[in-house]
Structure 1
Amino acid sequence: MTDRDVAYTDDEEMIDSLTIGRRVRQLRTERGMTLDDLGAAIGRAASQVSVIENGKREAKLSELQGLARALDVPLDRLLSTEAPTGRAALEISLERAQRGPLYASLGLPPLPVRKTLSDEAIGTILGLHAELERLHRERAATPEEARRANTELRRTMRRQDNYFAELEATAAELLGAVGHAGGPLSQRVASDLASHLGFTLHYVADLPSSTRSVTDLKNGRIYLPATGTGHDPRSALLQALASFALGEKEPRDYADFLRQRVETNYLSAAMLIPEKGAVDFLTAAKGRKQLSVEDLRDAFAVSYETAAHRFTNLATQHLGIPVHFLKVHESGTISKAYENDGAAFPTDVLGAVEGQLVCRKWSARQVFDVADRFSPYHQYTDKPKGTYWCTSSIQATAQGAFSVSVGTPFAHVKWFRGRDTANRQVSTCPDPECCRTAPVDLATKWESQSWPSARLQSSLLAAMPTGVFPGVDSTEVYEFLEAHSPR
């Protein structure tokens, strides 16, 4: 065994000098030995033994062998990774915390670990330190974690052509249970779904501002806003019911939160636009070469965005048409995106598209320059990977205007209404010369004479809020439920 071997157990787990030191102290005390006694037995000064016991210096192999002989124990016992006692485990954790960079950054004096310091006090200090570590770790890791999770989720959606058969089956089962025969889903049928799942609906004026609905699982109640919010009132209810029907549990991490959001949104959309009726409608439209997101929207009385999402769910699976989807803020940044048709979205180094700027020449940006915001905008765009056709529409929200676009490669445009558009652009992005590099004459004149102040979209760039359900004030929700709980 070498000095290097002393630092590791057989399973390569690092041996902590604090643990070794506490074990030496425990064994010395059990044997009634003083520091001087043990020091004399191994040929070291008492102060050197004290340094080892306090974990301030790693013992050499020869010293550990001498300590084992003096204490009459096998060497393996000294090298055990387990703390000798529960109290010792607390003291070791406290010492380790104080030696870490987080504690050092706080500028606090060291806290001596004395016998008078109770186990409860040490536990409280360790709990506070752990929470500080969690907050620092979350602030440092969450933006990257969120972007990685978004990237992986989009890959999963692409592999499945954004079609989830099990969710389609669940939607059909739920709609069948309340006798919905097809066509637009009325508010009454949505209420029947709530009753079928064991819930009563309560419309309130004081719904927490961070929520669209609140479900009281204990009392079988769903709380919804009493006044209009600008959203389809059925959507919030169906999403709440979808979470329950899918048996969702508290999300473990941001990736789990994203997955749950996608599944509940998918299921609620599948109830608003049932698969069978939608496929029959779209198949007939394809036969007439008149596919249109607007027609799907009007046939099922939903929002344009819901219809566009639902089209991407069904287009490849049932119509054999690859598609892409974009929701873009008026600033040009991507809010949501999906593709299985090779459309090359701008990405960051992690592969995430959220928050990236869309080419100015794409339909998703060009539509903002069109005066007529009631009619759909159609455009062909020649891109490095080929020519794509897109249809875009604008929707106004409290966060500003967004364009919602659905597109397909040129080979499939023959099935769509709007294919005869004369609008055409050429995009060479990500080449900066396409739309991000200013003309030479303007750049020469203004590049050293201007200082713009950027307006960043905090919702796209900020770290995810803390809490089990990101963005939701749990205290506010709990106080709301307590106030409305039936007495």
Structure 2
Amino acid sequence: MPTTSLELATLGHRIRHQRVSHGLTLDELGARVGVAGSQLSLIENGKREPKLSLLQAIAQATDVDVAELLTPEPPNRRAALEIELDRAQASPVFRQLGISPVRVTKGMSDETIESVLGLHRELQRREREAIATPEEARRANTEQRLSLRERDNYFPEIEKLAEKQLAAAGHVSGALTHRTVSIMAERLGFELIYVNDLPSSTRSVTDLENGRIYLPPASIPGGHGLRSMALQAMAHRLLGHQRPTDYADFLQQRLEINYFAACCLMPETNSVAFLQQAKKDRNLAVEDFRDAFGVTHEAAGMRMTNLMTNHFGIRLHFLRVSETGAIQRVYENDDLPLPMDVTGAIDGQIACRKWAARAAFSEQNRTTEHYQYTDTPAGTFWCATQTGTVPEGAFSITVGVPFDDAKWFRGRETSKRAVSTCPDEACCRRPATELTERWEGKSWPSARVHMQMFTPLPRGNFPGVDDAEVYAFLERHADS
């Protein structure tokens, strides 16, 4: 016998369908089976479960088998619509709205029910999307940063997976080639295709149905990143990722695919051997590590955060800072006193002007690394900083360690030294007393407002991705 509300609703509709087909009223059918018409009404509306003997009597009175009444399929399209609407209006998402459900009547057209159902489907779709408020996103980002700090930014299971995939593709040493990346994709059943019309909201698009990974043209500026993009797309499949359930899940997946790509471009075994020799020579340098594996300075710096603590016991920090001083990316497990808001979030906070990450912008020669010691309330840190430029503006990449570990790095002999007392505002945020006295109340600057302040946080299972654009792209290329 039916037990769930959905099964009872379907049964009720099938009984009603048979009664109406035989031209019987509720009272007439009730008289034939020995119950009041009001009792049959409760059964037809899915409010009461009939006993087996009554169900058998109804089946006999309407010339059908009991099995037909118990079929899980609605008897007709109208019944299917009404059942779906009942289910939608019973959902927690709808109940949270605090509004009365729509009561379906005989005179209500199918089109009206479909229209109401359309609203419910959209409500459910939006509820399923991984939407986060800025506060939720910052909280998720902070929790991820603290989690990485706890594990020294090291994922042994992803390291092993990457080395296994590389070995299967025949990669032994040296920079990972585009050819080897293609072989790795082929082993997973994917073909790498470079296109000019990739959706603007994506870095790559994977066609799961046809086994294709679409990437930007190899000739675009910064094309060296195509290996990483392809590896990230493959990582979703290798790591068994499902559609993100919330913003924290999205961030975790992004972290894992970036980590996998880094492991492939700078394999653990070869990277540790390289760093071990450099440490033995007291000549550790991000730029040498970068050049040995043919990656970006930022990628090499981040890879050091994966390996240096776990393999060499060296704690360190990594910073990407914009020319305005805003921290864009951060990792630390060496207790560098980073600025943070009341929630513990660091991204977007302004780095101290005295730190190498900002002092490097004032260097005349920006082609080489800038070395500096900085005294802070948490101790002295040595840092190596390299600056770069993207269309959005200049930025710096910094890798630093506590004073005692500077002995392993090239540039430790620098005489440049600064003193930072941040978060004390007197360090670099508060104007000098004489300048305050001279200009306070006599100036009116026009602020440069960053538009992202007013931009809603991207929504969707894959935040920021335009599904309409992606699906149209896939349709264009499906038969090519």
TM-score of the pair, normalised by structure 2: 0.76
The change in CA–CA distance for 1:119 and 1:142 in structure 2 (over 3 A counts) is farther
Matched, 1:242 2:226: no
Structure 2 Cα separation of the partners of residues 284 and 200 of structure 1: 38
Which residue is equivalent to 1:373?
Answer: 366
Q: C-alpha separation between the residues in 1 aligned to 2:260 and 2:414?
A: 34
CA spacing shift, 1:189–1:447, aligned 2, 3 Å:
same
Residue 140 of structure 2: which of 127, 149, 163 is its match? 149
For 2:372, the aligned partner's letter is Q
Once the two structures are superposed, the pairs formed by residues 344-423 of structure 1 within 5 Å of their partners are: 344-423=337-416
- Matched-pair contact (CA < 8 Å) for 1:224–1:237: yes
* 8 Å Cα contact 2:130/2:460 also seen in 1: no
Gaps of 5+ in 1: 1-28, 32-84, 101-109
- Please show how residues 437-476 of structure 1 align to structure 2 within 5 Å: 437-459=430-452, 462-476=455-469
Q: Distance in 2 between matches of 1:86 and 1:202?
A: 42
Q: What's 1:308 paired with?
A: 301
* Amino acid paired to 2:246: D
Given residue 429 of structure 2, which amino acid in structure 1 is its aligned partner? R
Cα distance in 1 between the residues matched to 2:318 and 2:246:
26
Change (3 A) 1:429 1:231: farther
1:180 corresponds to: 171
- The equivalent residue for 1:58 is none
**CA 1:441–1:404 in structure 2 vs 1: closer, same or farther (change >3 Å)?**
same
Q: Tell me, yes or no, if the aligned pair for 1:378 and 1:389 is still in contact at 8 Å.
A: yes
CA contact 1:328–1:404 (8 Å) conserved in 2: yes
Query: Hey, what's the Cα distance between the residues in 2 that align with 1:140 and 1:262?
Result: 18
Q: Is the 8 A contact 1:149 1:254 kept in 2?
A: yes
Equivalent in the alignment of 2:77: none
Change in 2 beyond 3 A, CA 1:347/1:453: same
Could you say what secondary structure the match of 1:408 adopts?
strand
Displacement of 1:337: 0.5
The 1:230/1:111 distance shift into structure 2, 3 A limit, reads: same
User: Are 1:333 and 1:354, in contact at CA under 8 Å, matched by a contact in 2?
Assistant: yes
AA in 2 matched with 1:402: F
- Deviation track 1:238-282 (CA, whole Å, cap 9, x = no partner) reads 111222221211111110110011100000011000001010010
Q: Judge conservation of contact 2:89–2:101 (CA < 8 Å) in 1.
A: no
Aligned partner of 2:306: which letter?
A: N
CA distance in 2 between counterparts of 1:134 and 1:127 reads: 11
Cα distance change on mapping 1:90 and 1:373 into 2, 3 Å: closer
- Pairing 1:209–2:221 present: no
Question: Does the residue aligned with 2:133 lie in a helix, a strand or coil?
Answer: helix
Residues 355 and 461 in structure 1, CA contact (< 8 A), matched pair in contact too: no
1:464 is displaced (CA, Å) by 2.5
Q: Write the distance in 2 (CA, Å) between the matches of 1:448 and 1:481.
A: 58
- For this pair of structures, how many residues does the alignment match? 398
- Most deviating of 329-338 and 115-124: 115-124
Task: Give the aligned partner of residue 228 of structure 1.
Answer: 220
Shift, 1:441, TM fit: 2.1
Q: 2:264 is matched with which residue?
A: 271
Of 418, 422, 431, the residue aligned with 2:424 is 431
Q: Contact 2:130/2:245 (CA < 8 Å) preserved in 1?
A: no
Q: Which moved more, 1:126-135 or 1:413-422?
A: 126-135
Aligned partner of 1:219 among 210, 213, 216: 210
Which secondary structure state, in structure 2, belongs to the residue aligned with residue 338 of structure 1? strand
Q: Give the C-alpha shift of residue 311 in structure 1.
A: 0.6
Change (3 A) 1:128 1:452: farther
For residue 97 of structure 1, report the CA deviation from its aligned partner.
7.2
Distance 1:123 1:172 in 2: 53
Aligned to 1:22: none
Identity among equivalent positions (%) equals: 51
Q: Give, in whole Å, the separation in 2 of the partners of 1:90 and 1:275.
A: 51
Structure 2 runs not aligned, ≥5 long? 1-36, 40-82
Amino acid at match of 1:245: L
1:169 to 146, 150, 160: 160
Change (3 A) 1:384 1:99: same
- Return the offset for 1:138: 9.2
Distance in structure 2 (CA, Å) of the matches to 1:348 and 1:470: 24
Alignment RMSD (CA, Å): 3.1
The residue identity in structure 2 corresponding to 1:230 is G
Cα deviation, 1:346-403, whole Å, max 9, x if unaligned, reads 1112111111111111111111111211100111111111001111111211222111
Paired letter, 1:151:
T
